[in-house]
Amino acid sequence: MTSTVPASLFRANGSSALQAVFLDMDGTLVDTEGFWWDAEVEAFAALGHELDASWRDIVVGGPMSRSAGYLIEATGADITLAELTVLLNEKFEQRIDRGVPLMPGAERLLTELARHSIPTALVSASHRRIIDRVLASVGRDRFAYSIAGDEVTRTKPHPEPYLTAAERAGADPALCAVIEDTATGVASAEAAGCRVVAVPSVAPIAPAGGRVVVRSLEEVDVPFLRTLISGA
């Protein structure tokens, strides 16, 4: 994937400064977590099953294999994981093709990160085909690169996605800020050694050491992220 952000920028910061910012996609950058649940509800309704609303908190933020697998087991639906994965991606794509709304504060934050020449990457458990459709809507040139869930061996909550992002940046994970909306994503970023800003979307996230919880991206700006790193 091409980028308008020079790779050298990832190595331009001082040794104790904020080196990069990694953002999750669904529910963090774009308001699409509800899209996934609606797609799941529609898919299982067609199979003759009604999803329990309490399951939403269980499947949110996870990789497709885990979320879809859980729902198949919970409902006993007669469908394979591979078949359901294709079906859910298709239904999700139908929704994002009608427009992808940014989360409150996202547009301003992305503009500010670019203005300060802070390298920014997108790290998502969603598949590449989904990420590319979202990037086409929000602006591919806002990100140096993106990492999809089907491009790593172990996706969130494993640390591999964020370790990969930091390695690709030539950055120290401890000097990278991650913005996430789910406990699964937070666990991945923290296991990688990154500093985390949690912006809960569907399920609550408790504050913890090395983790800051805010209500929305409207509370996050460059000075805030720099303080997150320098105060570690």
pLDDT band at 89 (very low <50, low <70, confident <90, very high): confident
If you average pLDDT over residues 91-102, what whole number do you get?
88
Residue whose tokens read 């800051």: 212
* Two structure tokens written together for 68: 């879809």
Percentage of residues in the chain having pLDDT higher than 90: 71
Q: What is the pTM of this model?
A: 0.80
In tens, the pLDDT along 116-172 reads: 999 999 999 988 988 999 999 899 999 999 999 999 999 999 999 999 999 999 999
Least confident of 33-37, 70-74, 182-186: 33-37
Sign of the Cα torsion 70, 128, 152, 102 reads: negative
d(CA 165, CA 167): 6
pLDDT band at 232 (very low <50, low <70, confident <90, very high): low
* Two structure tokens written together for 178: 């991650």
**Contact between 140 and 1 (Cβ < 8 Å):** yes
Average model confidence (pLDDT) for the chain? 89
DSSP H/E element including 145: strand 145-147
To 5 degrees, how large is the angle CA 150–CA 206–CA 59?
35
d(CA 91, CA 39): 5
Is pLDDT of 14 > 70? no
Q: What is the DSSP string of 180-196?
A: ESSHHHHHHHHHTT-EE
Is pLDDT of 40 > 70? yes
* Two structure tokens written together for 91: 């239904």
Output DSSP code: residue 175: G
Specify the pLDDT at position 216. 96
Measured between its terminal Cα atoms, the distance across the chain in Å is 33
If you average pLDDT over residues 6-19, what whole number do you get?
56
d(CA 33, CA 54): 15
Output DSSP code: residue 101: P
* Two structure tokens written together for 95: 């929704």
Is pLDDT of 194 > 90? yes
